[in-house]
Structure 1
Amino acid sequence: MEKPINLQAPSFILGIDVSKDSLDVCLVRVSDKLQLCHKLNNNPSGFRRMKAWLKQHGCEAGADTLCCLEHTGLYTRQVVHYLLARDVQVWMESALQIKRSIGMVRGKDDKVDAQRIARYALLHQREARCLNLSGVTLERLKDLQANRGRLLKALQSIKVTIKELIAVDPVSGKTLEQVNKKAIKGIEESMEQVEEKMQEFIAKDGELKKKYDLLTGIKGVGKVLAISLLVYTQGFTKMDDGRKLACYCGVAPFEYRSGTSVMGRTGVSKFANKELKHILHMAAINSVRFNEEFRLYFERKVGEGKSKMSVINAVRNKLLHQIVAVVKRRTPYELKLKNI
């Protein structure tokens, strides 16, 4: 999904604050730090006007331009696709990262936000990790993954309601089961179609297919976890370090102490991707059940007096480190990584 920025520094920095209906643009000319601002509509007509405005000020909006935006979900999608199609270097950065880099600020304004984004990009341009066109595949996978989650939630809601009703009122429960039979079948078929479409998109992208095959080659890593990791790590280009990925998933242990008076228990941070953590947890449970190495490790640690939950968390960490290792080495787990 991402690639390191070109060695040649960009001639222009473009900071864009994106909202549903508008774009606040701040153009910085690197040579003399000249700063210009403009407001446009967040639609194809606005993009064309932005290109014309940039050209008036000497910016061709091509490979010599670095554009930085915050992650704001669907609202950035159109402008990102427009810029990528014109070879602009597009850098999607965390809003929290930009906010914390600025320090204490007062007030909020879209124009000022665009200026802050441009300033951040100018100061940290050597750290930029830019998108490429293969990111479109990951976007589609993310959309399908979210849709699968909604279908699964709806299916579980119906099934759990029926199961609980049958337990207390069998007649009413059976009636509910009968009238929802077609709905349940339809949702299950839709989920199958979503999963087929995900596999189709992965198969069309050679690089993603290689990484997907490496991930699913690890015993305990299923297609749901593999696709989730590819989406959230942007094809293992945003996070390629086991420790960082463990932090992101909320399974890395941290100490809590200060001097001699504060001695808290070591634990994991709540600042994490909870959806990915849940999927990883289920994969760790399956690994303990079906992976001989992890099963023996679990039994040994529990036998030593460790709590089951802490050992499961250790398994989650080990699983992530194995995943990162096979992606980095580009070799299957069975052939290279047999020691736990």
Structure 2
Amino acid sequence: MQKKLFIGIDISKLVMDATVLFPDGRHDHHQFKNSRAGFNQLLRWVRRLSSKEAYELIFGFEDTGVYSIGIGRFLSGLKLRFVSENAYRIRRSMGIQRGKDDKADSLLIARYLKRNLEELSFGQAAPDLLLELGQLSSQRERLLKERAAHKTRIKELKVLEGCLDMRFLLRIEADMVRLLDKKLREVEEEIGKRIKAQEGLQEKKELLCSVPGVGEQIANQMLIITRGFTRFPDWRKFSCYAGLAPFKHTSGTSVRGRTKVSKIANKKIKALLTMGALTSIKSKNEYRQYYERKTAEGKHPMAVLNAIKNKIVSRMFAVIERNTPYVCLQGRD
């Protein structure tokens, strides 16, 4: 069996701390720039350390958003095995940690790779289009938050209108809202244009929008998060990721907590699915019938709403798998 070399990488904005962990427990550390030149230097350094034996290289780093995209694309382009892992999962798996620095964190990541090798999910960098759509979606979220802040400011200024002259400030705030509205439309149009330019993504978006409760924003986010429905093996895995899967809370004979969803979730898609479920039950459809029937049976309204969100997710995965639009079956739960 080929020996494995584990390379843990702690990534920050400007630099990367890398630690190579050898099978016998020895380790070596070096720091590189978080740039294309730094990636090449990292690879040459690792290959020099492993030149005496034919090691299988396994890289790993925390998913730090924009700062880790570059190294992921670099390794993927060379078809090297790597793991882009959730930072929370790495921290929770390594026991009590006292103190923190980048060098120690890179060693911690390398040890995590070695300890959890059998359970690791090796990945490939997302296609450039999906990465670009992800950044456009993030920009849209920022514009929405800024617009909401300016609208709140307008309400505050109107309270003072009776005793102070707020006309100038109100005009400035109104101009900012109009500008943000314009930029928001431009970003949304750009997202739509890029999806339409990719035939496969546009077809998937149309399939998703055929599911009741799924609008354009939910469809866009699902395509981005699931990387065109290639990232999650089934809807249950995604439901867990989105914080929709209920879990038991019991211990021994004395602890009997209620079954509830976890707070560890992608809150952006969870919020969108909540809005989709709330909107869907306002119409006369199968979701509305299901909601009324279950609440009449004594189920908590929020638990029923969560079940509807899971139904929406399962049906989105189903239409993509079947490659046919959603069709409502009478009497279906």
Report TM bin, short chain.
0.7 to 0.9
Give structure 1 regions of 4+ aligned residues with deviation exceeding 4 angstroms.
8-12, 32-35, 163-179, 204-207, 335-338
1:90 pairs, out of 82, 90, 115, with 82
**2:238 — aligned with what?**
245
CA displacement 1:156-191 (0-9 Å, x = unmatched) = 222344356557848968776544443222211211
2:130 pairs, out of 118, 133, 138, with 138
CA distance in 2, matches of 1:190, 1:307: 41
CA displacement 1:113-139 (0-9 Å, x = unmatched) = 323322333444454434435433232
2:277 pairs, out of 284, 295, 313, with 284
Report which stretch shifted further, 191-200 or 226-235.
Answer: 226-235
Letter in 2 for 1:217: S
**1:52 — aligned with what?**
44
1:15 pairs, out of 8, 15, 21, with 8
CA distance in 2, matches of 1:9, 1:321: 41
Letter in 2 for 1:37: H
Aligned length: 329
Deviation of the 1:294 alpha carbon: 0.8
CA distance in 1, matches of 2:195, 2:69: 20
CA distance in 2, matches of 1:334, 1:101: 43
- Structure 1 pair 226/291, CA: closer, same or farther in 2 (3 Å)? farther
Contact kept in structure 1, 2:8 and 2:106, CA below 8 Å: yes
Q: Tell whether 2:218 aligns with 1:225.
A: yes
- Structure 1 pair 66/199, CA: closer, same or farther in 2 (3 Å)? farther
Matches within 5 A, 1:314-333: 314-333=307-326
Letter in 2 for 1:92: S
Deviation of the 1:222 alpha carbon: 1.2
Letter in 1 for 2:301: K
**Identity of aligned pairs, percent?**
35
CA distance in 2, matches of 1:95, 1:179: 41
CA distance in 1, matches of 2:78, 2:38: 15
CA distance in 2, matches of 1:29, 1:332: 51
- Structure 1 pair 121/202, CA: closer, same or farther in 2 (3 Å)? farther
CA distance in 2, matches of 1:90, 1:124: 13
Contact kept in structure 1, 2:151 and 2:173, CA below 8 Å: no
- Structure 1 pair 286/124, CA: closer, same or farther in 2 (3 Å)? same
CA distance in 2, matches of 1:255, 1:47: 44
CA displacement 1:215-239 (0-9 Å, x = unmatched) = 2221211121122233333443333
SS at match of 2:139: helix
- Structure 1 pair 262/121, CA: closer, same or farther in 2 (3 Å)? closer
Contact kept in structure 1, 2:226 and 2:232, CA below 8 Å: yes
- Structure 1 pair 334/177, CA: closer, same or farther in 2 (3 Å)? farther
CA displacement 1:271-312 (0-9 Å, x = unmatched) = 322222211110101111236111111222233333433322
Deviation of the 1:91 alpha carbon: 1.9
SS at match of 2:281: helix
CA distance in 1, matches of 2:86, 2:300: 36
Letter in 2 for 1:18: I
Higher relative contact order (CA 8 A, sep 6+): 1
Q: Tell whether 2:263 aligns with 1:270.
A: yes
Note the residue ranges of structure 1 that are not aligned, 5 or more in a row. Answer: 1-7
SS at match of 1:129: coil
**1:299 — aligned with what?**
292
CA displacement 1:10-41 (0-9 Å, x = unmatched) = 965432121233222233567x7774432222
Letter in 1 for 2:29: C
- Structure 1 pair 338/110, CA: closer, same or farther in 2 (3 Å)? farther
**1:151 — aligned with what?**
143
CA distance in 2, matches of 1:337, 1:212: 25
Letter in 2 for 1:103: G
Note the residue ranges of structure 2 that are not aligned, 5 or more in a row. Answer: none
* CA root-mean-square deviation: 3.4
- Structure 1 pair 332/34, CA: closer, same or farther in 2 (3 Å)? farther
SS at match of 2:282: helix
Report which stretch shifted further, 201-210 or 68-77.
Answer: 201-210
Contact kept in structure 2, 1:144 and 1:198, CA below 8 Å: yes
CA distance in 1, matches of 2:169, 2:284: 39
Contact kept in structure 2, 1:20 and 1:75, CA below 8 Å: yes
The normalised TM-score by structure 2 is: 0.82
Contact kept in structure 2, 1:240 and 1:324, CA below 8 Å: no
CA displacement 1:231-259 (0-9 Å, x = unmatched) = 33344333333333333323333333444
Q: Tell whether 2:208 aligns with 1:215.
A: yes
